[in-house]
Amino acid sequence: MSYVQKVLDEVVAKNPGQPEFIQAVTEVLHSIEPALSANPAYEKNGILERMVIPERAIIFRVPWVDDSGKVQVNTGYRVQFNSAIGPYKGGLRLHPSVTLGTIKFLGFEQIFKNSLTGQPIGGGKGGSDFDPKGKSDNEVMRFCQSFMAELFRHIGRLTDVPAGDIGVGGREIGYLFGMYKKLTNSYEGVLTGKGLQYGGSLARTEATGYGLVYMMDELLKNHNNSLEGKTVVISGSGNVAIYACQKAQQLGAKVVSMSDSNGYVYDKDGIDLAIVKDIKEVKRGRIKEYAERRPSAVYTEGKGVWSIPCDVALPCATQNELNEEDAKTLLKNGCIAVGEGANMPSTLEATEVFLGSNILFVPGKAANAGGVATSALEMSQNSMMTSWTFDEVDAKLKSIMISIYHNMANAAEEIGKKDNFVAGANIAGFKKVADAMMAQGVV
């Protein structure tokens, strides 16, 4: 039995009830086979066996009092997956669907993503099954304070640096930072995605979406094409989706759709992003309202955003939002490129469809790495007690995305799989972490 199969069998046996984690490990391990057989030292040193188990996973109670005075309780998580190349780094997700398996899948992906950025950051992730939707600002604050009342003892600017993810934006980071500072009496860059008044970086808000589009731009340029004039479909209407839309429009593409967990809008004249921002960033409303405010748009309840014909598809909502059927539909409709803004939005079957077709497919750990890369730039600025201009940060982000593109493309070519960016990204990300682990001994 192959080394990969042996480790995979163990992961499946030992992680019952964690299908997303198993899915993420399966994709990575299968695609790095060539790197493993080229270097038997990885197996001798038990690198895979070590990589699939978090260095530490913390699970904790998060009690808080709602506006009616009733006590509510949620479960909090922080999975510190791998610190071979730097302090644990990764976001916090607040969504009712969050389980230990969700956080483990995200933390595992983060190891390779962070490695690809070329910056000194290890992999981690955290969150809770708390649902911020429909909660007052005070309820969100009390939840965040309670969450930090436990988390603070496990993190630090050189230990573990959390950030945002689904359900965690500037408001939540502010409440978390305030509580950390109060508990530790230390003003430090322990979180990223902070407000600009207290240590945040310009362009961090835009970074994931902008980075995704810089990646797609570089991809298309390297295939004698461009985003100019292309029709783009985006799922989601949160942080990543909004700034992907903005940058795609700036580069001359026409974005015709966005969505949320209730349904999607199709706008034949192209998305008016000011309306989306007002609904989502200001009013915390539903995408349905977009069609009520924009005559050229229609709203459809439920799934189906991938049935809209497009040249470029950017899934920017959540995991497993694009299945095999959706992938076949995109292919049939003439889609030429897919870039994952979300983490693991395509199922394993959908990924197989893309890899077996002419569609250029960039997996999330490469395509959405601009967010965490800019978080690392925020950490650098905090350490230096300085702040760079928007243009300086944006230029660094762009050059990081371009170098990720070439590193993954080269890694794919080296194993004779040109344009297989799944294999390329996984191998390039894996090697740096694995070599660092070997250099540091059995720890």
Binding site for ligand 2IT (CB under 6 A): 89-91, 113, 163, 165, 192, 343, 371-372, 375
CA distance 19 to 4: 18
Extended beta strands in 268-335, E state: 297-301, 312-315
The residue with tokens 């304070």 is 145
CB under 6 A: which stretch of 65-73, 75-83, 171-179, 316-324 binds ligand NDP? 316-324
Query: 90 touches which of ligand 2IT, ligand NDP, none (CB within 5 to 8 A by kind)?
Result: ligand 2IT
Query: Which positions ≥6 away from 291 have C-beta within 8 Å?
Result: 265, 297, 298, 299
Of residues 146 and 239, the one with the C-beta less far from ligand NDP: 239
Regarding 257 and contact with ligand NDP (CB under 6 A), the answer is no
Q: How far is the CB of 236 from ligand NDP (least distance, A)?
A: 4
* DSSP single-letter state for residue 204: H
Q: Give me the catalytic one of 89, 125, 135, 254.
A: 125
Q: Which residue is nearest to ligand NDP (CB)?
A: 238
Q: How far is the CB of 15 from ligand NDP (least distance, A)?
A: 20
Query: Which positions ≥6 away from 199 have C-beta within 8 Å?
Result: 189, 378, 381, 382
Of residues 166 and 202, the one with the C-beta less far from ligand NDP: 166
113 is catalytic: no
Q: For 10, left (φ over 0), alpha (ψ -120 to 50), or beta?
A: alpha
Q: How far is the CB of 129 from ligand 2IT (least distance, A)?
A: 17
Of residues 42 and 108, the one with the C-beta less far from ligand NDP: 108
Q: Specify the DSSP element, H or E, that contains 32.
A: none
CB under 6 A: which stretch of 51-59, 71-79, 236-244, 306-314 binds ligand NDP? 236-244
CB under 6 A: which stretch of 40-48, 235-243, 330-338, 399-407 binds ligand NDP? 235-243
Q: How far is the CB of 168 from ligand 2IT (least distance, A)?
A: 8
Query: 342 touches which of ligand NDP, ligand 2IT, none (CB within 5 to 8 A by kind)?
Result: ligand NDP
Q: How far is the CB of 97 from ligand NDP (least distance, A)?
A: 6
* DSSP single-letter state for residue 25: H
Binding positions for ligand NDP, 284-303, rule CB under 6 A: none
Q: Specify the DSSP element, H or E, that contains 247.
A: helix 239-250
Of residues 289 and 414, the one with the C-beta less far from ligand NDP: 289
Q: How far is the CB of 326 from ligand 2IT (least distance, A)?
A: 22
Q: Specify the DSSP element, H or E, that contains 206.
A: helix 204-221
The radius of gyration of the chain's CA atoms, rounded to the nearest angstrom, is: 21
CA distance 441 to 410: 29
CA–centroid distance for 402 within its chain: 18
CB under 6 A: which stretch of 10-18, 231-239, 346-354, 434-442 binds ligand NDP? 231-239
- In the three-class reduction of DSSP (H, G, I as helix; E, B as strand; rest coil), residue 341 is classed as coil
Binding positions for ligand NDP, 334-393, rule CB under 6 A: 341-343, 368, 371
CA distance 163 to 268: 35
Q: How far is the CB of 352 from ligand NDP (least distance, A)?
A: 20
* DSSP single-letter state for residue 90: E
The residue with tokens 């080229």 is 38
CA distance 135 to 66: 9
- In the three-class reduction of DSSP (H, G, I as helix; E, B as strand; rest coil), residue 173 is classed as helix
State the amino acid at position 386 in one-letter form.
Answer: T
Regarding 166 and contact with ligand NDP (CB under 6 A), the answer is yes
299 to each of 240, 248, 280, how far by Cα in Å? 21, 22, 16
In the stretch 169-208, what mask flags binding to ligand NDP with x, by CB under 6 A?
---------------------------------------x
Regarding 315 and contact with ligand NDP (CB under 6 A), the answer is no
CA–centroid distance for 113 within its chain: 9
Footprint on this chain of ligand NDP (rule: CB under 6 A): 95, 97, 164-167, 208, 236-241, 260-262, 316-318, 321, 341-343, 368, 371
Catalytic residues: 125
